[in-house]
């Protein structure tokens, strides 16, 4: 019977020569396998998205990267798209100044606040501080811009600039050349407040990873809490603190609307914190309208976005690797 069948149809060949007891895959298992594959594809999405964004921007900015040497683009000082001159240096310098001022203002306060919350504060203080920081993080950039426009710009103009003019005029980075209030300092103050919640949250997390035994050992031999923090806790978490600062810097680099509203937007090489500047994100946002009307202009603006993306990716990946390593660290 078997032989007859096997000679007749190919199907039955399988039946006789193949595995006799082929395991029946339950529909539940099949469902599970299917779900696993589908979920896997979804999970590829974030990984791929980074690549897709970078490639799309690269393809679109290729015309200008091809037409000009990279050095001329990045270090050219003249920005006249109508003449075909695309020098990004004033904008890169503007981005750098604004970010640097923001970070310098934010870091000392953030460090103190996170040490206070992690090492000193009562649980009740913490439970009050957390919602405050959450709300600060939730406020949209444009509202920060409004605040900067209504409070910080006048404050810089009426209070800080005259003070600096009177006492620090001989120091070139504090000299007041363009007294309008709009400028790097105003943008830096707004940025400092914007990135503070993130930096504080990351620093707090990292301080919390240090086991209490280490603190107790130090306190037991008579050190004060501050000495414990400085000699025991800080050395343990130093890389994480640095990573938190770099992460904050990468946020500050890309901030657009809030900075755009208070920075003055004059393409120049700033020499003082009271000067106006024109950071890269502001350049992109301000000129998207006439992007398509001038040759190579769109490629130039998208290459600005590409430069921003590459710098931010490097900052982000480095700091995230350090932070994740610190958070997963095993203490014996």
Kindly identify the residues of this chain, within the stretch 107-146, that bind other proteins according to CB under 8 A: 108-110, 112-113, 115-117, 120, 129, 131-136, 138-146
**Min CB(40)–other proteins separation in Å:** 7
**Min CB(99)–other proteins separation in Å:** 12
**176 versus 300: smaller Cβ distance to other proteins:** 300
Residue 291 and residue 297 in contact, taking contact as beta carbons nearer than 8 Å:
yes
In angstroms, rounded to a whole number, what is the distance separating the alpha carbons of residues 37 and 47?
16
Bridge partners, 86 (sequence order): 79
**Min CB(257)–other proteins separation in Å:** 4
- From the list 67, 89, 100, 149, which residue makes contact with other proteins (rule: CB under 8 A)? 149
**178 versus 286: smaller Cβ distance to other proteins:** 286
**Min CB(195)–other proteins separation in Å:** 11
**210 versus 258: smaller Cβ distance to other proteins:** 258
Name the 3-class secondary structure at 326.
helix
Binding pattern to other proteins, positions 290-329, x when CB under 8 A? -x---------xx--x--xx--xx-xxx--xx--x-----
Binding pattern to other proteins, positions 9-28, x when CB under 8 A? -------------------x
- b (16+ CB within 10 A) / e for 276-295: bbbbbbbbbbebeeeeeeee
Residue 87 and residue 79 in contact, taking contact as beta carbons nearer than 8 Å:
yes
Q: Which of residues 183-242 bind other proteins (CB under 8 A)?
A: 193, 196, 200, 224-227
Nearest CA among 189, 28, 194, 182 for reference residue 100: 189
The DSSP result for 135-193, as a single string, is HHHHS-HHHHHHHIIIIIHHHIIIIIHHHHHHHSTTSGGG--SSTTS-SHHHHHHHHHH
Backbone angles phi, psi at 86, to 5 degrees: -125, 85
**Min CB(5)–other proteins separation in Å:** 36
**163 versus 327: smaller Cβ distance to other proteins:** 327
**35 versus 242: smaller Cβ distance to other proteins:** 35
Residue with tokens 């992007």: 291
**Min CB(183)–other proteins separation in Å:** 18
In angstroms, rounded to a whole number, what is the distance separating the alpha carbons of residues 74 and 89?
6
| 261 touching other proteins, by CB under 8 A | yes
Q: Which stretch binds other proteins (CB under 8 A): 9-17, 104-112, 208-216, 235-243?
A: 104-112
The DSSP result for 67-135, as a single string, is HS-HHHHHH---EEGGGTEE--HHHHHHHHHHHHHHHHHHHHHHHHHHHIIIII--HHHHHHHHHHHHH
Nearest CA among 325, 312, 181, 327 for reference residue 247: 312
- From the list 90, 94, 240, 254, which residue makes contact with other proteins (rule: CB under 8 A)? 254
**89 versus 257: smaller Cβ distance to other proteins:** 257
Residue 158 and residue 150 in contact, taking contact as beta carbons nearer than 8 Å:
no
- From the list 64, 201, 284, 300, which residue makes contact with other proteins (rule: CB under 8 A)? 284
**75 versus 120: smaller Cβ distance to other proteins:** 120
**139 versus 173: smaller Cβ distance to other proteins:** 139
Structure tokens at 220: 């037991």
Binding pattern to other proteins, positions 33-62, x when CB under 8 A? --xx-xxx-xx-xxx-xx--x--xx-xx--
**129 versus 173: smaller Cβ distance to other proteins:** 129
Residue with tokens 């939730």: 138
């Amino acid at each position: 019977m078997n032989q007859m069948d096997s000679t007749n149809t190919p199907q039955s060949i399988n039946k006789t020569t193949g595995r006799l007891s082929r395991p029946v895959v339950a529909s539940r298992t099949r469902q599970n396998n299917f779900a696993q594959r589908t979920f896997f594809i979804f999970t590829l999405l974030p990984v791929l998205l980074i690549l897709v964004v970078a490639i799309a921007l690269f393809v679109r900015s290729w015309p200008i990267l091809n037409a000009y040497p990279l050095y001329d683009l990045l270090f050219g000082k003249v920005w006249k798209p109508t003449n075909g001159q695309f020098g990004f240096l004033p904008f890169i310098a503007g981005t750098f100044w604004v970010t640097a001022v923001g970070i310098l203002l934010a870091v000392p306060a953030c460090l103190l606040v996170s040490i206070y919350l992690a090492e000193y504060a009562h649980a009740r203080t913490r439970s009050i501080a957390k919602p405050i920081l959450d709300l600060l993080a939730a406020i949209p950039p444009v509202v920060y811009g409004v605040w900067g426009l209504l409070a910080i710009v006048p404050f810089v103009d009426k209070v800080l600039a005259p003070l600096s003019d009177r006492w620090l005029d001989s120091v070139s980075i504090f000299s007041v050349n363009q007294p309008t209030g709009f400028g790097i300092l105003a943008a830096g103050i707004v940025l400092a407040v914007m990135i503070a919640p993130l930096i504080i949250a990351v620093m707090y997390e990292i301080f919390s990873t240090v086991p209490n035994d280490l603190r107790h050992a130090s306190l037991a031999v008579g050190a004060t809490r501050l000495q414990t923090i400085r000699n025991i806790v800080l050395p343990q978490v130093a890389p994480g603190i640095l990573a938190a600062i770099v992460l904050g810097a990468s946020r500050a680099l890309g901030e657009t609307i809030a900075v755009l509203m208070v920075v003055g937007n004059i393409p120049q090489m700033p020499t003082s914190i009271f000067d106006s500047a024109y950071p890269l994100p502001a350049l992109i946002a301000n000129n998207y309208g006439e992007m398509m009307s001038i040759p190579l202009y769109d490629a130039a603006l998208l290459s600005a976005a590409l430069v921003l993306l590459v710098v931010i990716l490097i900052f982000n990946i480095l700091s995230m690797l350090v932070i994740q390593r610190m958070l997963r660290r095993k203490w014996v």
